[in-house]
Structure 1
Amino acid sequence: MTLAPPAPEPGVAVVRRPARVRLLWLLVVVAVLALLVAASLAIGSREISWADLTAALGGATDNVSQAAVAKRIPRTVLALLVGAALGLSGAVMQGVTRNPLADPGILGVTMGASLAVAVGVAWFGIWTQTAFIWTAIVGAGVTAVFVYVVGSLGSGGATPLKLALAGAATSAAFVSFISAVVLPRGDIAESVRSWQIGGVGGAGFSSIGAVLPFLAVGTAICLLAARGLNSLALGDELAAGLGERVAVARALASLGAVLLAGGATAVAGPIAFVGLVVPHLCRLLVGVDHRWLLPFSALAGAGLVTASDVVGRVVARPEELDVGIITALVGAPFFIWVVRRQKVREL
């Protein structure tokens, strides 16, 4: 059965795009992403020539420039994976909650993962990458349930405004809890504070290999949930009337989003606003059909984090700004614009 998109609210245009336009935008996004990957490998504290870049991609490490490229390869791969995970997670969370402000950071999910990791390191001595990832995913899942329950209290249920406020309050509280857990531990305080900024510097293929299965499973679940999200966009009653198991569809999509957000936070720290900015921009390109929106959000999220990493290397040479700082500078004004434009309506 083919489902029609939800009816627009008064004064709100529903973006529809023919398939050929979507395919054209797909080619554009892939081309831009390829250019960003090349820039990520070539740009940094040391400029890399094209000859050294191609030689390093072939496995050569004969000089300093080629060795620099070899170190940037896992960093670039991690930026792509983390960006794709956060962009896809944000799109799914917005679809599940029908909340234009939904995002792993704004809803407190990434901060819940951060608190779980901080507690695990400080109190239980976890240091292995796999333990980090499992701890972060459990923390993200518990926080997501908590925020949704708090946002559902009172009349009207889980409205976008109540969810955003519950997420913001939870994030603020968890930041204080993290400080309370970490500050008495001088041996880990510096490393945890650095990780909390959010970045992909110092990435290695060992951490990528550890998190890749979790991100792959989360991505598969989210993409399989695309049709269910299209049904949820019609409203719970109409979706149920069309045969959709609303609770199952929402729980399945949420599971995928939590896996992606928790895994990305474990390896890169809490990077904010990627999951907010990317889905809104992708809706302008491909419309509201989640079968197109979700893959585009993954590609655009990968591009945003990779671009932010490149910008962070350039603006503070020879030092670097972490990705989390750049995305906050981009995302905070966008968040204000969304609030003013959407008036915190449901999607």
Structure 2
Amino acid sequence: MLITPVLIIGITVISVLYGTKEISIETIWQALFDFDERNADHQIIRTSRIPRAIAVLFVGAFLAVAGAIMQGITRNYLASPSLMGVNDGSAFVITVAIVFVPGLANYQMILLSIIGSALGAGLVFGFGAAIKNGLSPVRLAIIGTVIGTFLSSVASAIAMYFQVSQTVAAWYNTKIHIVNTDMLLLSIPFGLVGMLIALFCARAITVTSLGDDIAVGLGQKTKLIRYLSMIAVVLLTGTAVALVGKIAFVGLVIPHIVRFLVGVDYRSIIPCSILVGAFFLSLCDLVSRFINYPFETPIGVVTAFVGIPFFLYLIRSRGGDRHA
């Protein structure tokens, strides 16, 4: 894990240096330290590549931590923002806002996205609790997929009817290539608050992951911890979706990799998920640029190449076991 920060720095530098348009290192240096707003290459570096490189770092970290928290507090190895309707809830509310309340400020879009995250999570876990064995990993994943598909379908129908499909598509297919710098600066504080809550709850999440009986026996207020943890999840996921749109599987894959590397203590899992999630999504972003050069492949395709086999492996190897 000690080498991860070095890898993050390296891949961030590569992300700024290379893209679909060739720009010399000298020009990049000038864009950083002697910016000329009339120079198109300088504009690309300042308004596209640098914001994009920073955005994927934060979004990767946010989604990885959100997935780690969900797996810990639910003791469900399949829990993640993309499978549990959290991403879809955010995108759904954003779609409704674009149609019925156009022209919202960036901070309002972030707040609505966070509300949407809470809506999606509430629907999935609400239905899961109402159905017999609905909180088991596979059943909860199925419920999450059904509700997520339903929300996406309704959003698509609304977007088509009101002829805003192209605008809405950016949130469903990711808009990482057009990161809004103002949105990025506004998003980071919301995400950092979610990170701080996650770090504050880390020890309690470790105890919760051992089971409710053990947690209560140790004097832990399990309901309070779950509420705080879900606040962190909706802040992190809502912020990520508002910034770049839906990206799947980061929150599923990274916590398992980190747990394998550092063990089951969330005081280690959460900080390490920040680093590994940031590196993973930055690597996926870099691959997405060059896998079909000079055309860009959606980053969701790259994460799916990793995430889908991993998802199937988890189901095959762990079956209906609920323990994270």
With normalisation by structure 1, the TM-score equals 0.88
Please tell me whether the aligned partners of residues 215 and 260 of structure 1 are also in contact (alpha carbons under 8 angstroms).
yes
1:64 positional shift: 5.3
For structure 1, which segment, 319-328 or 95-104, has the greater mean C-alpha deviation from structure 2 after superposition? 319-328
How big is the shift at 1:63? 5.8
Contact 1:101 1:344 in 2 (8 A): no
Match of residue 199, structure 2, among 212, 220, 223: 223
In the alignment, which of 127, 149, 157 is matched to residue 172 of structure 1?
149
Alignment counterpart, residue 246 of structure 1, candidates 222, 241, 257: 222
Q: 2: distance between equivalents of 1:199 and 1:293?
A: 29
Partner of 2:210, secondary structure, is coil
1:199·1:271 contact (CA, 8 Å) conserved in 2? no
Code of the residue aligned with 1:300 in structure 2: it is V
Alpha-carbon shift at residue 219 of structure 1 (Å): 0.8
Q: Taking structure 1 as reference, are residues 59 and 141 closer, same or farther at Cα in structure 2, changes over 3 Å only?
A: farther
Q: Secondary structure at the match of 1:201?
A: helix
How many residues of Structure 1 are paired with residues of Structure 2 in the alignment?
A: 321
- State how far apart, in whole Å, the 2-side matches of 1:344 and 1:294 are: 25
Q: TM-score, normalised by structure 2?
A: 0.94
SS in 2 for 1:337: helix
C-alpha distance in 2 between matches for 1:82 and 1:63: 29
CA RMSD in angstroms comes to: 1.7
Give, in angstroms, the shift of residue 329 of structure 1: 2.4
- Confirm or deny: 8 A CA contact 2:12 2:53 kept in the other structure: yes
Equivalent AA in structure 2 for residue 174 of structure 1 = L
Work out whether 1:46 is the aligned partner of 2:21.
Answer: yes
The answer as to whether partners of 1:112 and 1:140 remain within 8 angstroms in 2 is yes
Bigger shift: 36-45 or 197-206? 197-206
Q: 1:327 aligns with which of 280, 303, 306?
A: 303
Structure 1 pair 55–105 and aligned structure 2 pair: CA distance change class (3 A):
same
Residue equivalent to 1:197: 173
Structure 2 residue aligned with 1:213: 189
8 Å CA contact retained: 2:86, 2:121: yes
Deviation at 1:170, TM superposition (A): 0.6
For structure 1, which segment, 252-261 or 48-57, has the greater mean C-alpha deviation from structure 2 after superposition?
A: 48-57
Distance across 2 between alignment mates of 1:245 and 1:210: 33
User: Residue 295 of structure 2: SS of its match in structure 1?
Assistant: coil
Deviation, 1:157, is: 6.1
**CA–CA distance in 2 between the matches of 1:336 and 1:263?**
28
Distance 2:87 2:28 in 1: 35
Q: For residue 4 of structure 2, what is the aligned residue in structure 1?
A: 29
Asked if the contact 2:85/2:144 (under 8 Å) is kept, the reply is: yes
Q: Mean alpha-carbon deviation: is it higher for 38-47 or for 85-94?
A: 38-47
CA shift digits 1:261-297 (9 cap, x unpaired): 0110011111111101111111121111101111111
Contact 1:113 1:139 in 2 (8 A): yes
SS at match of 2:3: helix
CA distance in 1 between partners of 2:199 and 2:10 (Å): 26
Partner of residue 74, structure 1? 51
Contact persistence 1:100–1:344 (CA under 8 A): no
On the 8 A contact 1:215/1:263 being kept in 2, the answer is: yes
Of 317, 320, 323, which residue of structure 2 is paired with 1:341? Answer: 317
Partner Cα separation in structure 2 for residue 156 and residue 308 of structure 1: 35
Q: Distance in 2 between matches of 1:67 and 1:133?
A: 26
One of 184, 196, 215 as aligned partner of 2:161: 184
CA distance in 2, matches of 1:168, 1:321: 24
Tell me how far 1:328 sits from its aligned partner. 1.9
CA contact (8 A) 1:97 1:160 kept: no
1:34 Cα deviation from its structure 2 partner:
1.1
Structure 1 unmatched ranges of 5 or more: 1-24
What one-letter code is carried by the residue in structure 2 that aligns with 1:206? D
Q: Distance in 2 between matches of 1:175 and 1:246?
A: 32
Matched AA of 1:231: V
For residues 78-157 of structure 1, the aligned pairs below 5 Å read 78-156=55-133
Cα pair 2:63 2:250 within 8 Å, conserved:
yes
SS at match of 1:249: helix
* Post-superposition offset of 1:65: 4.6
CA displacement at 1:205 relative to structure 2: 2.1
8 A contact 1:211–1:263 mirrored in 2: yes
Cα distance change on mapping 1:106 and 1:160 into 2, 3 Å: same
Matching of residue 265 in structure 1 with residue 241 in structure 2: yes
1:161 shift after superposition: 2.3
Question: Per the alignment, in what secondary structure is the counterpart of residue 101 of structure 1?
Answer: coil
d(CA) in 2 for partners of 1:66, 1:133: 29
1:94 and 1:126 mapped to 2: Cα distance?
A: 36
